[in-house]
Amino acid sequence: MNPKTYNRPLYQPAAPYDQTGLVFFPAFDWAISPTHPEREERLLYTRDQIFEEGIMDLPQIRQYQPRLAELKDIARVHFCVPNVAAQASEAHRIAAGGALVIADAVLSDEIKNGFALVRPPGHHAMRVAHGNRGFCNINNEAIMVEYVRQKYGLRRVAIIDTDVHHGDGTQDIYWHDPDVLFISFHQDGRTLYPGTGFMNETGGPLAQGTTINVPLPPGTTDEGIFYVLDNLVLPILDEFQPELIVNSAGQDNHYSDPLANMSFSARGYAILNEKLAPDIAVLEGGYSIETALPYVNLGIIMAMAGLDYSNLYEPDYRQNRFKENRNRMQQLEKIVQQQYHLFQRRHQLTAQGRPTGEPFYQRQRHIYYDTDQIREQQLETLRICPRCPGYLMIDSEAAGPQGRIKVHCISIPQQACSGCQRAARDHYAKMRRRPPEACAYSYLQDRPRDTYQQYDYHRQREQTL
Amino acid sequence: MLIGIDVGGTFTDGVLYHDHKILRSMKSPTESDNLQASVLAVLDELLKDTRGSDIARVVLSTTLVTNLLATGGGDKVALILIPGPGLNLRQLRFFNFAYIVEGATDFRGRITEPLNKSQIERAGEEIVAAGIDKVAIAGKFSPRNSSHERETKQILLSRHPHLQIITGFEVSGQLNFLRRTVTTYYTAVTKNTWASFATNVQAAIRARGIDAAIDILKADGGTMPLPVSLQYPCETIFSGPAASTMGAYALTLDEKTSVVIDIGGTTTDLALILEGEPLHSSRGALIGGLHSNVRSFATRALALGGDSAVRWQEGKLTIGPDRLGPAACFGGPVATPTDAINLLKQGKLGPLPPSQQALEKIARPAGLTVAELAQQTIDQAIAQLLASINDMFTAWEQEPAYKIWELIHRRPVTADRVIGIGAAAAAFMPLIAAKLGCRSFVHTYSPIANALGAAVSRPTLSLLLHADTKRRHYHLNIDGITGSCNSNWRLTDAKEEARNQLRKIAQQRGIGHYANQYEFFREEQFNMIRGWSTTGKLYDVGIQIAPGVIDGFKGVQP
Ligand SMILES: [Zn+2]
Ligand SMILES: [Zn+2]
């Protein structure tokens, strides 16, 4: 568990492809509300720390400017109700766009890896977006992953969610996708928002074992998280062989975070990122804005850039302040063993999961949007296809302070077979002609063609992105 | 009457200016090992028909400190760093006598670790034993609380009163510990050499009967009184490109967007004027490859000039990076871009045959006609320049923004005009302007615009005020000035204080008459929320006297 020792001097010039890209976008003029944790001040001290550190002057670091994500980039992932513009403000589009800038630079080999240090966050935003959940409207990582799959032809991607909260939005988006490995470790959902992320959440019937949840007992320390990394996350990544590794990098596992109860340190975050070696990290949560964020963010940058972080510590950090206890370690050992077993049986489980003769699989869900106080009912219908992961239909009805709305969504994944593609497009055409009762919009997310349609029944108008 | 003198690497230029006319101008080779002589030679020439007592201002721009730093000269300095948590500076290998001392201050200016006094005492012994008598001290977050730096200085002085010590908070109050370290260190390295040069030149000027103000041009395009420069020697680096840029500015004085192109013998310097305002670099001038805190124009230098040697090597045409002498048409040994233009313009610049012969030596083995070679040379030189110009615009467009408003209101910039500076400018400008699709501007006085720029530039002063109402204090980025503030301070109070401080400092520096020409360039406020309620505010206010021309200057008659 000792950090590697480095010989590289601070000022040795780095070859361009050996640089770490950084988008720093603190959105100093944006807040959910003046006293909300997601407010202007959140990255202020992080700015002070990285500016004073002078880290952006180092040849190992290359700073990039974010851009606005296109509406189409967002529609590739989300069914935004009623439309993309309504859910994605400029702030959201810049945060997602920051991730896209880093992705472009990594995939065109301009840099070896990159960190989108942006806000607002996104990992609680699900496929259907009626409003803000857990401070998130749109899912920055998913938007980036679908963008690089579309633009650079990538297929196998791993998203490791290291935020203390379960990445339920990302899990939802990749639930039925066997080519995106989603691993989330987080404080146990019985003790923390959003109350999900249990071990039995393992993915849809045709994508079993590529969703892996690791609920951690409150108080877990650096040592515990390294144990999970070394014995579960890294071996799985080794076997899965993703073309891109994304760290959905929340910083609220920190011992000082006001919203959670874990005992992770800034140096722990640096070691985590060194072990994980993500191609791209995207900032998620983290609300200990003075005590943790300045040091954690610096640690992630230093680790990704291969800079020596042995002198990085929080002012109140004392060695051995947090020790892993036997009881927690035993729990972790059990979880790791069980989830590794799950991953290894994924093909077998998926084969078992194809119910014989049933053409469709359905599940009912209830989703709560804490920030916007919206309650959503979903009926998911997945085509069980012998040749591909199937296309997905979602009937969604939401009720909140703004009223009630019902929509119908159809998603064709990139890997869909031609039969599923045809069937899904026919279904959308049929839905356009004959609206379901009280339905305001129908959506078609056609990833193979990269076109995104939305039909407004009231105005009888179609919009295409 | 005003005098401006720009001591460049190759030439020293000077002008005598009065009432919108240039009465005299002068260009003479720089004696690189005796800059004072170069200054005085030009000064005496300018004063030939003028009495010293008629001179109201002398402005100097010199490469002294730039040269000193480039050649590794100056005094031997020991560095004491108080970094606290962060980068591991034990790997910072660019200074020889560097000591790292325990102690830490955080971003709010709170002391998070006490100083390790015995480490400082030990460092002091070693420094003195090594025969070093200058020390630079830099602590992380010292602009937010300088007590560690001050205490370190006290400890050293109490045992070794002869030490000359520079502290980081006095040199720069901007957040960037590495740049502050570099700037503090090099301030200590150059301070004495600069001081002896400046005081000697001042004495020589006074001996010529001039009792007017003597100002020094800074990298940011503004001037500072000579006595102030003794404290900030590093501010004088890169004043050459600043002089050219301010010269271009002074010759145009409008709101257009221009590319300033200073074509010298060996190099070309580029700068931007965006809607009438010269563009500063966001990163600070480079000293020995390291970023400093010295505010400078966003300039770019190309190893390509009017006298660059043209060659045919391995089937390819090369231009520069060296200069073997003047252009062939002015008696030089080899063909140059100037000869190429001279050939295509049928001897407009100088005698045609030498250009022709020099080009022919290259054209024949290359299998080209002389005209083809000349055209290729020009095309290639212009292409190189254009690439750099586009690069500059792109860099500007990609300057980081940290607010949504800034990002979405950004629009691409295009040049309205190219402004040619320097002797070779006239020949090249129309060609570059044609490629950029903009106008070309070359003034009669373009060849000595740098000296004019020095003569008519006004003083600049830039203040950053950071206030923390919870800690009830504020600090400035200059001279380590701090003060206390009320817990109910508003942004307007912070701005008022910044304005008062600007006035006070301007007065002290003898530039008080410019104190009213200020502008605010930053106004930021943050609520500090703890436990769902506001417990204080943080303000960042920037106020400056921006680069500009002196009162009453309206341009120069051609
Ligand atoms: Zn979180
Ligand atoms: Zn299929």
In Å, how far is A437's CA from the nearest CA of chain B?
41
The tokens of B217 are what? Answer: 């041009």
Give contacts of B 243-262 with A, CB under 8 A. Answer: none
pLDDT at A131: 93
Q: What is the mean pLDDT of chain A?
A: 93
ipTM of the complex: 0.91
Check if B88 contacts A (Cβ < 8 Å). yes
User: pLDDT tens digits for A210-231?
Assistant: 999 999 999 999 999 999 999 9
Per-residue pLDDT, averaged over B373-397, amounts to 92
Q: Give me the mean pLDDT over the B227-244 stretch.
A: 93
Marked catalytic residue, from A124, A165, A176, A408: A124
pLDDT of residue B94: 60
A309–B88 CB contact, under 8 Å: yes
Predicted pLDDT of residue B93: 63
Cis peptide before A120 (omega within 30 of 0): yes
- Asked if B411 is an interface residue toward chain A (Cβ–Cβ < 8 A), one would say no
pLDDT digits (tens, 9 = 90+) for B329-352: 999 999 999 999 999 988 888 999
Domain segments of chain A as ranges = 12-347, 355-464
Mutate one of B81, B82, B88, B141 to test the A interface: name it (highest A CB count within 10 A): B88
Hunting for tokens 């201002």 — which residue is that?
B57
Of A24, A25, A51, the CB nearest to B175: A51
Q: Residues A374-386: what's their mean pLDDT?
A: 95
CA of A413 to the centre of ligand 2 (A): 10
Burial of B36 (0-12, 13-18, 19+ CB in 10 A): middle
Distance CA B201, CA B222 (A): 20
Q: Which residues does chain B have within 8 Å of residue A53's beta carbon, measured at their own beta carbons?
A: 86-87, 140, 177-178
Q: Which of residues 391-410 of B touch A (CB under 8 A)?
A: 398-405, 407-408
Measured from the alpha carbon of residue A420, the closest ligand is: 2
Nearest CA distance, A274 vs chain B (angstrom): 16
Please report, for the domain that includes residue B37, its CATH number: 3.30.420.40
What's the gap in Å between A206 CA and the centre of ligand 1? 28
B300 touches chain A (CB under 8 A): no
What's the CA gap between B476 and B544, in Å, rounded? Answer: 13
The per-residue pLDDT for A302 is 96
Residue A4 has pLDDT above 60, yes or no: no
Enumerate the residues of chain B whose CB falls inside 8 A of the CB of residue A95: none
The DSSP result for A380-403, as a single string, is EEEE--SSSS--EEEEEEEEETTE
pTM given for the model: 0.92
- Whether residues B176 and A28 touch (CB distance < 8 A) is answered with no
Chain A residues with beta carbon closer than 8 angstroms to that of B294: none
**Are the beta carbons of A302 and B91 separated by less than 8 Å?**
no
Contacts A–B by Cβ distance under 8 A? 126
Pairing of strands B213-217, B164-167: unpaired
Counting residues of chain A whose pLDDT is more than 90, the rounded percentage is 87
Residue A10 has pLDDT above 60, yes or no: no
Sign for the CA dihedral angle at B443, B444, B446, B450 comes to negative
Tens-digit pLDDT profile for residues A117-139: 999 999 999 999 999 998 999 99
Query: 10 Å Cβ neighbour count for A356?
Result: 5
Give the span between the Cα atoms of A136 and A146, in whole angstroms: 18
For the CA of A423, the nearest ligand: 2
Q: Which residues of A touch B399 (CB under 8 A)?
A: 65
Which pair of tokens denotes residue B530? 């703890």
CA–CA min distance A291, chain B (Å): 10
> What amino acid occupies position B160?
H
A124 included as an active-site residue: yes
Q: What is the dihedral of CA A314, A315, A320, A324, to 10 degrees?
A: -40
Pick A30's closest partner by Cβ from B94, B401, B404: B404
Q: Could you say which of B107, B289, B404 has the minimum Cβ distance to residue A29?
A: B404
Instruction: Kindly report the number of other CB atoms within 10 A of residue B288's CB atom.
Output: 11
Burial class (CB in 10 A: 0-12, 13-18, 19+), B460: buried
Mean pLDDT confidence for B298-319: 91
* Structural domain ending residue among the three candidates B214, B244, B274: B244
B128, pLDDT greater than 90 = yes
Given an 8 Å threshold on Cβ–Cβ distance, is B527 in contact with A40? yes
Q: What pLDDT sits at residue A355?
A: 67
Q: Is residue B352 situated within a structural domain?
A: no
Per-residue pLDDT at A207 exceeds 80: yes
| Residue A356, pLDDT score | 67
Mean pLDDT of B265-292: 88
Does B49 map to a domain? yes
Residue from the list A6, A47, A53 with its beta carbon closest to the beta carbon of B86: A53
**Does the CB of B131 have a partner CB in chain A at under 8 Å?**
no
Q: How far is the CA of A394 from the centre of ligand 2 (A)?
A: 17
Question: A111: distance to nearest CA of chain B, Å?
Answer: 17
Distances (CA, A) of A158 to A87, A119, A124, A217, B402: 26, 22, 17, 24, 30
What integer pLDDT is reported at residue A1 of this predicted model? 30
* Closest CA of chain A from B459, distance in Å: 28
Q: pLDDT grade, residue B92 (50/70/90)? A: low
Write down the pLDDT at residue A92.
96
Q: Which residue is it, tokens 């000269």?
A: B73
Q: What angle do CA B234, B235, B236 make, to 5 degrees?
A: 90
B420 occurs within a structural domain: no
Q: How do residues B150-176 score in pLDDT, each as one tens digit?
A: 999 999 999 999 999 999 999 888 899
The ligand whose atoms approach the alpha carbon of A283 most closely is: 1
Instruction: Please name which of A106, A63, A41 lies closest in space to residue A301, comparing C-alpha atoms.
Output: A63
Q: Which of B353, B358, B315, B356 is nearest to B333 (CA)?
A: B358
Which residue among B224, B244, B264 closes a domain?
Answer: B244
Query: What range does the domain containing B527 cover?
Result: 461-545
pLDDT in tens, B19-54: 999 999 998 888 888 999 999 999 999 999 999 999
The whole-angstrom separation of Cα A328 and Cα A313 is 25
Mean pLDDT of A425-445: 93
Residue B87 or residue B71, greater confidence: B87
Report d(CA B77, CA A201) in Å as an integer.
Answer: 63
Q: Per CATH, is A12-347 categorized as 3.90.1150.50?
A: no
Percent above pLDDT 70 for chain B: 99
Please report which residue ranges of B164-323 form alpha helices under DSSP H.
168-171, 177-207, 226-229, 239-252
Q: Mean pLDDT across chain B, nearest whole number? A: 92
Q: What pLDDT sits at residue A14? A: 63
> How many angstroms does the Cα of residue A183 sit away from the middle of ligand 1?
15
Structural domain contains residue B477: yes
Quick one: pLDDT at residue B406? 82
Of A52, A312, A314, Cβ closest to residue B140: A52
Say if residue A69's pLDDT is above 90: yes
Residue B125 lies in a domain: no
Instruction: Give residue A2's pLDDT.
Output: 33
Tell me whether A96 touches chain B (CB under 8 Å): no
Residue at a domain's end among B244, B260, B287? B244
Q: Is the pLDDT of residue A88 over 60?
A: yes
Tokens describing residue B59: 């402005």
pLDDT(A147) > 90: yes
Q: CA–CA separation, B135 vs B126, rounded Å?
A: 12
pLDDT value, residue A12: 60
- Domains held by chain B: number: 2
What is the reported pLDDT for A6? Answer: 36
Average pLDDT over residues B271-279: 92
Per the domain annotation, does B393 fall within a domain?
A: no
Residue of A nearest to B293 (CA): A54
Q: Given this model, what pLDDT does residue A352 score? A: 84
CA distance linking residue B24 with residue B41, whole number of Å? 14
pLDDT computed for residue A42 by the predictor: 95
8 Å CB contact between B464 and B541: yes
Identify the three-state secondary structure at position A221: strand
Mean pLDDT of the A246-274 span: 95
pLDDT confidence bin for A7, thresholds 50/70/90: very low
Per-residue pLDDT, averaged over B120-149, amounts to: 96
Nearest CB to A35; choose among B283, B407, B529? B529
User: Quick check: A48 contacting B, CB < 8 Å?
Assistant: yes
Nearest to B282 by CA among B220, B337, B239, B325: B220
Judge whether B287 and A11 are in contact, CB under 8 Å: no
Most confident region among A88-97, B82-91, B400-409, B476-485 by mean pLDDT: A88-97
pLDDT tens-digit readout, B476-508: 988 888 999 999 999 999 999 999 999 999 999
Amino acid A20: pLDDT: 97
